[in-house]
Chain A
């Protein structure tokens, strides 16, 4: 399967701990997105990369959140000093260059902060 993959699929952590998630996009896609989704809501945009450059970052992303895409392939999303409000599904998507920019999503990482 050459779709978008995310690891881990589930993460349970205690408040105050740091967590890191990984996303591997479709190999020929140069665009990568992170979203967060809480129960019963649509996803909320967090950040966007084109190749290794982080081009956009939501104001929702506090200083405790950081994302990287060092070689323009996989990406990591780190949350420091987790809070209960960080509990959500974290979704990664990738897309090829324009014109369609159709986004393809991974299965998500479900984070539970106790």
Chain B
């Protein structure tokens, strides 16, 4: 059974710092992996999707990497801003299944 873990559960950093959020999964036979952002009480915004054949994806200040063999993905945020404060979740889609399997998220606070 696939399990997705995100550590740490919460992270607080000063504005302007570069930071890395971690996501690990137990079964490497994934189809793709998505990173999402969730603001308090709101729905989910898709940030990046990485196919199993890809190693990384970039969008603006965000860069997501994928290492299937080690069961890990990272989300790198450059030059953090207070507006980046949110909960970041990763989710994987397995080969033979259509649903997403989710981590519990990392709550990020960027201090001005």
Binding site for B on A (CB under 8 A): 4, 6, 31, 33, 35, 40-45, 48, 55-56, 58, 91, 93, 99-108, 110
B-side interface mostly: strand
Interface CB pairs A-B, < 8 A, 7? A33-B100, A42-B102, A42-B103, A43-B44, A43-B89, A101-B93, A102-B49
- The listed residue (B41, B91, B98) touching A31 by CB distance below 8 A is B98
CB distance from B95 to the nearest CB of A (A): 12
What is the size category of the interface that chain B forms with chain A? Answer: 20 to 34
Chain B residues lying within 8 Å of A101, measured Cβ to Cβ, are 31-32, 93, 98
Q: Nearest 8 A-B pairs (CB), nearest first?
A: A42-B102, A45-B99, A105-B44, A107-B43, A105-B43, A108-B43, A102-B49, A42-B104
